[in-house]
Amino acid sequence: MKLELKGITKKFGSFVANDHIDLVVEPGQVHSLLGENGAGKSTLMNVLYGLYEPTEGQILIDGKPVEFNGPGDAMAAGIGMVHQHFMLVPVFTVAENIALGNEATKAGGILNLDETRTKIRQISEQYGFQVDPDAVVEDLPVGVQQRAEIIKALVRDAEVLILDEPTAVLTPKETDELLAIIAQLKSDGKSIVFISHKLREVKAVSDLITVIRRGKVVGDADPNASTTDLASMMVGRSVSLSLNKAPAQPGEATFVIDGLTVTAPTGQRVVDNLSLQIAQGEILAIAGVQGNGQTELTEAILGLQEHVSGSIRLEGKELVGRGTKEIINSGVGFVPEDRSVEGLVGAFSVAENMILNRYDQAPFAKGLAMKPARVAENAAERIAEFDVRTQSATAAAGTLSGGNQQKVVMARELSRPLKLFIASQPTRGVDVGSIEFLHKRIVSERDRGTPVMIVSTELDEVLELADRIAVLYQGRLMGIVPGNTSRDRLGLMMAGMGADEAQGTDPARTDPESGDK
C-alpha cells in the first residue's frame, strides 16, 4: 500500500501547524519523521489518522484520494497508530484490549475472545512478540504494553503503522527490541512511519528521513547523513552535539550518602544500603533502567520519602529527618523527573513558578506579603537568561512546550547559590536545541564548584555529562565507574552485573540479549 500526503495544511486559528506538507510512504519502507517538539509531526499524523480534518490538502492511498472522518475510517483503510501515551485499558487483559471496539460476539451478545486470542498468538509468534493474551495490561512492562498496541493495529490488518515517539518510554534494551520488531514488520511488506527526535534511533531504523521544522518539510535526508547534519536540519542552525566539557576539578567531597536504605510502604527495600560521595565541582551520574530506585533516592535526599534510614550529609549537616523546605533552603537545588507533575504548577504563571520554592523569602516576600514587582523582575531576568520561549511571564506554565517548562524549572533551581544540585532526567522530552543549552548550564554549575548529581535513564546523556557514573540496579549500587566507561560495560551493570564482573566480560557477550539476567 502506497500512502501519499499532498499539500496537507492544518491551521489552528491563525497558527499554521502544518504548512503544505508532502509525504510519500512507499510499501515496505521505514519512513522517519524527524523534528523538534512542536514542529508539527504529531499534528500531521493526527490528520492522517482521521483525528483532525486538514484545512487543505489530500490523502491518497495507492493513488486514490480518500477522506477520513475518524480513526475508524483510517483503520479500515489500513492505517494503524501507536500513540506515545498508550490507549489501553489498564485493568483489561491484552486480549480484551485488542478486541475492544472490534468485539466478536457469540449468540446473545456474549463476548467471544477466543478468536482474538488465537490471532494474538499467531501474530505474536510470527514476529516474536512474546505477548500473553490473558495478561492484565497494567501488570505488563511498558515495552510489552507497546507491543500489545502494535498487535492491536496488526489485528486490524494495518499496512501502514504510525509509531509516535515510540522509544520515549522504553529502556535501552526495550528500544533495541522495538527496532528489531520494526525491521521484521518491514521485511513483511508493512510500511512504518517512525516519529522521533532521537537521532541515533532514526538513523538506525530508517530507509528515508523527512525533516520537519515549524510545520514545513525542510527536506529529505539519507539515514547515512551525520548526526550533526541531521540535528542542524532539524533545529535550523548548527548544533554542537558534543559538550566538550573541561575535565572536572573535584574538590572536597561535601555530599556524603552513607548506608542509605529506603523502604517502600510494601516493605520492599527500594534503595538498599547505598553509599556514595560527590565532590565539589564534579558530576556524578546515576545510571540505571527506570524504576531501579533512582526516584526514591532523589526523593529521600529531598526529604520526600517516609521510611528512610542511614545518613545523608551535606557539608557535614545531616539531612535525613529534616523537612523538604529546610533541605531546599540549606542549598539543595532539585529538578524532579516529571516536570509537569512535580516541578511546576501548571496553572501558575511562569513568574510564580520561578519562585515556587522561594516565595516566602527575601526579596520576594516581606513578612506575609509578597512583592509582585520583585517576582516579575526575577521572572524577566530568568526568562532572558535561560531563553524561555513564553508569550509573557504571566502566561500559565502549563501552556509552555516541554523544553521551555524544563527551562523554567532549571532557571528556578540554578538561580540561587547551591551546595548541591540534583537533576532527574534533565532533558527528557526536550528538543535537541534545548538539550545543548541545558547541558551547558549543568556543566557551568559544576564548574562553579557545586557537587552535581544527574539521574538519567539515557546512556547518551550519562556519558555526555558524567565525571563518574554510579549504576543502580534494584536499589543497589552496582559500582561507581569513570565517566568514559564503555556503553557495553554500563549496559551489563544496568542489568545487574557488578562493576568488576562487567569489566571482565568477553566483548562478544555484550549484546543486549546476554546482558539480560
Partner 1 sequence: MSEDEHKHARKKTDEHASEVRLEAMVDTEDGRIAPPPVPATAQSGDLHPEASSQTVVQRIMSGDALVAVLAVVLSLIAGGILIALTDEDVAQTATYFFARPQDMLLAAWSAASEAYLALFQGSVFDYEGETFTRMISPLMQTLTVATPLICAGLGVALAFRAGLFNIGAQGQIIIGATLAAWVGFSLHLPVGIHLLLVIVAGIIGGAIWGGLVGLLKAKTGAHEVILTIMLNYVAIYLVTYLLTTPAFQRPGSSNPISPQLDETAMYPPLFGDAFRLHWGFIVALLATVFVWWLLKRSIIGFELRAVGANPVAARTAGISVTKGYVVVMLIAGALAGLAGVAQVAGTEQVLSSGVAASFGFDAITVALLGRSTPWGTFFAGLLFGAFRAGGVTMQISTGTSIDIVLVVQSLIVLFIAAPPLVRALFHLPEPGKTKGPRRPKGTRSRKPATTGGSA
In the window 132-191, what residues touch partner 1 (CB under 8 A)?
A: 137-138, 145, 152, 169
Is there a contact between 37 and 432 (Cβ–Cβ < 8 Å)?
no
- For 44, the grid coordinates are 500531521
Q: Which lies closer to partner 1 via its Cβ, residue 46 or residue 280? A: 46
CA distance 57 to 20: 7
How many whole angstroms separate alpha carbon 198 and alpha carbon 432? 8
> Site for partner 1 (CB under 8 A): how many residues?
79
| Size of the chain, expressed as the number of residues it contains | 517
- CA 379 to CA 394: how far, in whole Å? 9
| Residue 263 interacts with partner 1 (CB under 8 A): yes or no | no
Nearer to partner 1, 43 or 456 (CB): 43
Taking the alpha carbons of 287, 289, 295, 297 in that order, is the dihedral positive or negative?
negative
Q: Are 412 and 431 in contact (CB under 8 A)?
A: no
Instruction: Report the residue number, 322 or 476, with the smaller CB distance to partner 1.
Output: 322
- Which one of 1, 61, 76, 100 is in contact with partner 1 (CB under 8 A)? 100
| Between 117 and 186, CB nearer to partner 1 | 117
Q: How far is the CB of 217 from partner 1 (least distance, A)?
A: 18
| Residues 404-423, interacting with partner 1 (CB under 8 A) | 405
Pull the grid cell for residue 386.
535561560
> Is residue 112 part of the contact set for partner 1 (CB under 8 A)?
no
319: contact with partner 1 by CB under 8 A: no
Q: Which is nearer to partner 1, 184 or 415 (CB)?
A: 415
User: Phi-psi category of 490—alpha, beta or left, where left has phi over 0 and alpha has psi -120 to 50?
Assistant: alpha
Beta strands in 157-307 (DSSP E): 160-164, 191-196, 208-213, 216-221, 253-263, 269-279, 283-287
Helix (H, G, I), strand (E, B) or coil at 32: strand
Nearer Cβ to partner 1, position 93 or 485?
93
Q: What are phi and psi of 197, to 5 degrees?
A: -120, 10
* Binding-site member from 2, 6, 11, 269 for partner 1 (CB under 8 A): 11
Min separation Cβ 132 and partner 1, Å: 18
Give burial (CB, 10 Å; 0-12/13-18/19+) of 195.
buried
Q: How far apart are CA 296 and CA 262, in angstroms?
A: 7
CA 149 to chain centre: 19
Q: CB 7 → partner 1: shortest distance, Å?
A: 17
Q: From the CB of 210, what's the least distance to partner 1, in Å?
A: 18
Q: Is 365 in the site for partner 1 (CB under 8 A)?
A: yes
Question: Is residue 362 involved in binding partner 1 (CB under 8 A)?
Answer: no
Choose, by CB under 8 A, the member of 97, 124, 206, 450 that binds partner 1.
Answer: 97
Please list every residue from 426 through 455 that binds partner 1, using CB under 8 A. 429
Backbone torsions φ then ψ of 350, nearest 5 degrees: -55, -45
**CA separation for the pair 205, 223 (Å, rounded):** 8
Under the binding rule (CB under 8 A), the answer on residue 329 touching partner 1 is yes
| Sign of the CA dihedral running 433, 435, 438, 442 | negative
List the one residue from 336, 426, 451, 475 that touches partner 1 (CB under 8 A). 336
Q: Which of residues 40-79 bind partner 1 (CB under 8 A)?
A: 42-43, 46, 49-53, 55, 69-71
Taking the alpha carbons of 308, 310, 314, 320 in that order, is the dihedral positive or negative? positive
In the complex with partner 1, the residue whose CB is nearer, 109 or 247, is 109
CB of 168 to partner 1, least distance (A): 9
Among residues 65, 128, 139, 325, the one that binds partner 1 under rule CB under 8 A: 325
Counting contacts by CB under 8 A, is residue 328 touching partner 1?
A: yes
Interacting residue with partner 1 among 290, 310, 317, 348 (CB under 8 A): 348
Interaction of residue 357 with partner 1, rule CB under 8 A = yes
Q: Which residue has the cell 528556578?
A: 412
- Residue 149 C-alpha cell reads as 498496541
**Residue 92 interacts with partner 1 (CB under 8 A)?**
yes
Name the grid cell of 377: 523582575
Q: Which residue stretch of 19-27, 35-43, 112-120, 226-234 sits at the interface with partner 1 (rule: CB under 8 A)? A: 35-43
Contacts of 514 (CB under 8 A, 6+ apart): none
Cα separation, 55 vs 488, in Å, equals 49
When asked if residue 388 is in the footprint of partner 1 (CB under 8 A), the reply is: no
Q: Which of residues 279-308 bind partner 1 (CB under 8 A)?
A: 302, 304
Q: Which stretch binds partner 1 (CB under 8 A): 6-14, 184-192, 377-385, 443-451?
A: 6-14
Q: Which one of 80-88, 182-190, 464-472, 508-516 is the stretch in contact with partner 1 (CB under 8 A)?
A: 80-88
Task: State in angstroms the smallest separation of the CB of 248 from partner 1.
Answer: 28
Q: Measured from the CB of residue 187, what is the shortest distance to partner 1 in angstroms?
A: 27
